[in-house]
């Protein structure tokens, strides 16, 4: 399977992938898949029915026993084949991500790389899935703990990482011997559609990996199907809370990663030449549509004036446009309605008295007048009570709050209901340690603007940013996707 040289302009109607077959959905409901950079439709996505979801779950259920009894090293080999196919098609996949999501090509390449790394980690399954044992827990009695797969797992993904987020779950779930049904975001279904053809080529037995396109109806079908033993979700907090409750009520394992409002603290001793480029990438990378994006800058003491000026001046120079152009720094946001929502937040910031020092509302992108662009936007003199400092905007809008000291900064972070990520820029080990020790966020950056864990660490999150216990990827994944069974033996 080779790399396609060109990106397509029309990907047609998405299919479901069930039991190793490409299946047309019979649903009468469908949506256009939009290229947010151009405002043009590049395909359609069916919103599958509950019955179609049940067919996918049934296929996964039927495939489970044979896959579960396949030796882990053989399961790992199929993952290795998938890894090679992802590698060969990495540029094509990155270009599709740009087309359907709007991020820059470099960001998209990074996303594909992260997906590949998740598969690489999961290929260690024969070692990582091992249990443990102890001889002579009592005279002549041995005890051991084995890990076993559970059955059909489902994953429900958000729009902002069309390809990476499904890979937080897919390779770990199936590596452990489970079978899998993915419901990608209906806003960005093309990347995973393409991945399914690589799954097909990699040689997974039919039914081990399935994909069903859809929206709430498909999600509810997965939550209510008794043959689904566990659910992984990534998306906004209200939906995370709903899915956590509905799936756990039915006795399923659930892990739900929710929304975010991430704070970045700059201490008076921060190295500004290093800090500013990190802030740009954190606040405006992927047009602010990362769950780890910086959203509020807490500038401590004397750093406030010089940092504010340098940050705004550098952000003003960012080139906004279609991410397939390598010179572009920031693409559009995902949809027209999301852009309107972001513009609403900017209006609210002004109305509540924050000072708009960089206004991205009038940004013009040559050749793409219909794209959903918002330029980098910065508010100064925000306060912790303002809407722009409290709610998740999920767009390229930053707010600066001047604070007296680290204590005040950490107090503001603590008051925020979200707890996904927080970063500190400082030359002081003491300040960094205090920050790491105290702040209630799952992912902490120390002189790192986007604290994104590698695939061998869990992607954490606290407070309203996470519902559950075991997180995505890392060692948590092997616990989430296996049951621990204890065996106690005595031979007469």
Structure tokens at 72: 């882990």
Nearer to ligand NAD, 154 or 432 (CB): 154
Catalytic residue among 176, 256, 291, 416: 291
Picking from 178, 260, 218, 182, the residue whose alpha carbon sits closest to that of residue 480 is: 178
CA–CA dist 344, 387 (Å, integer): 11
- In degrees and rounded to multiples of 5, residue 24 shows phi and psi of -70, 130
**Rounded to the nearest whole angstrom, what is the least distance from the CB of residue 389 to ligand NAD in the complex?**
16
Measured from each CB, the residue nearest to ligand NAD is: 235
Please report which residue ranges of 37-104 form alpha helices under DSSP H.
50-68, 72-88, 90-101
Nearer to ligand NAD, 104 or 185 (CB): 185
> Over the Cα atoms of the chain, what is R_g?
23
Nearer to ligand NAD, 99 or 426 (CB): 99
**Rounded to the nearest whole angstrom, what is the least distance from the CB of residue 239 to ligand NAD in the complex?**
4
Nearer to ligand NAD, 207 or 419 (CB): 419
CA–CA dist 213, 186 (Å, integer): 7
Structure tokens at 366: 């040559």
Structure tokens at 279: 């802030």
**Rounded to the nearest whole angstrom, what is the least distance from the CB of residue 421 to ligand NAD in the complex?**
9
CA–CA dist 239, 391 (Å, integer): 15
Picking from 57, 291, 330, 329, the residue whose alpha carbon sits closest to that of residue 159 is: 291
Nearer to ligand NAD, 75 or 194 (CB): 194
Is residue 291 annotated as a catalytic residue, yes or no?
Answer: yes
**Rounded to the nearest whole angstrom, what is the least distance from the CB of residue 217 to ligand NAD in the complex?**
9
CA–CA dist 341, 285 (Å, integer): 19
Structure tokens at 5: 């040289």
Footprint on this chain of ligand NAD (rule: CB under 6 A): 156-160, 165, 183, 185-186, 215-216, 219, 234-236, 239, 242, 257-260, 291, 392, 394, 420, 459, 461, 465
CA–CA dist 191, 193 (Å, integer): 5
**Rounded to the nearest whole angstrom, what is the least distance from the CB of residue 290 to ligand NAD in the complex?**
7
**Rounded to the nearest whole angstrom, what is the least distance from the CB of residue 208 to ligand NAD in the complex?**
21
CA–CA dist 386, 383 (Å, integer): 6
CA–CA dist 195, 190 (Å, integer): 9
Nearer to ligand NAD, 64 or 459 (CB): 459
Give me the active site residues, please.
291
């Amino acid at each position: 399977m080779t790399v396609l040289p060109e990106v397509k302009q029309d990907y047609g109607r998405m299919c479901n992938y069930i039991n190793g077959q490409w299946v047309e959905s019979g649903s009468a409901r469908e949506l256009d898949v939009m290229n947010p950079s151009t405002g043009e439709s590049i395909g359609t996505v069916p919103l599958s029915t509950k019955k179609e979801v049940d067919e996918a779950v049934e296929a996964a259920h039927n495939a489970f026993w044979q896959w579960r009894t396949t030796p882990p090293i053989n399961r790992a080999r199929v993952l290795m084949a998938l890894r090679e196919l992802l590698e060969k098609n990495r540029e094509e996949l990155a270009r599709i991500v740009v087309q359907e999501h709007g991020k820059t090509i470099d960001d998209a390449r990074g996303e594909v790389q992260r997906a590949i790394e998740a598969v690489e980690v999961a290929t260690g399954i024969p070692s990582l899935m091992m249990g443990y044992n102890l001889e002579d827990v009592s005279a002549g009695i041995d005890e051991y703990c084995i890990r076993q797969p559970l059955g059909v797992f489902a994953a429900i993904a958000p729009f902002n990482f069309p390809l990476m987020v499904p890979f937080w779950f897919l390779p770990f779930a199936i590596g452990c011997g489970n079978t899998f049904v993915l419901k990608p975001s209906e806003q960005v279904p093309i990347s995973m559609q393409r991945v399914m053809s690589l799954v097909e080529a990699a040689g997974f037995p039919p039914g081990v990996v399935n994909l069903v396109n859809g929206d709430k109806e498909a999600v509810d079908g997965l939550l209510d199907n008794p043959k689904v033993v566990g659910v992984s979700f990534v998306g906004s907090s209200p939906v995370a809370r709903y899915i956590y409750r509905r799936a756990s009520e039915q006795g399923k394992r659930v892990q739900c990663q929710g929304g975010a409002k991430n704070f970045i603290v700059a201490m008076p001793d921060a190295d500004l030449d290093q800090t500013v480029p990190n802030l740009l990438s954190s606040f405006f990378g992927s047009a602010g549509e990362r769950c780890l994006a910086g959203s509020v800058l807490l500038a401590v003491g004397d750093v406030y004036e010089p940092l504010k000026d340098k940050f705004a001046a550098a952000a003003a120079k960012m080139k906004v446009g279609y991410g397939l152009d390598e010179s572009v720094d920031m693409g559009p946001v995902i949809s027209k309605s999301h852009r309107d929502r972001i513009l609403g937040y900017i209006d609210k910031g002004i109305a509540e008295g924050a000072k708009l020092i960089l206004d991205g509302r009038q940004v013009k992108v040559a050749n793409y007048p219909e794209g959903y662009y918002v330029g980098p936007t910065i508010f100064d003199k925000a306060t912790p009570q303002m809407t722009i400092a409290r709610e998740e905007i999920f767009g390229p809008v930053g707010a600066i709050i001047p604070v007296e000291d680290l204590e005040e900064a950490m107090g503001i972070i603590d008051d925020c209901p979200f707890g996904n990520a927080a970063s500190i820029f400082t030359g002081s080990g003491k300040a960094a340690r205090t920050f790491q020790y105290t702040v209630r966020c799952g992912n902490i950056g120390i002189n790192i603007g986007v604290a994104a864990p590698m695939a061998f660490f869990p992607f954490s999150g606290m407070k309203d940013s996470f519902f559950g216990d075991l997180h995505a990827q890392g060692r948590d994944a092997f616990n989430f996707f296996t049951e621990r069974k204890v065996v106690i033996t005595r031979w007469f």
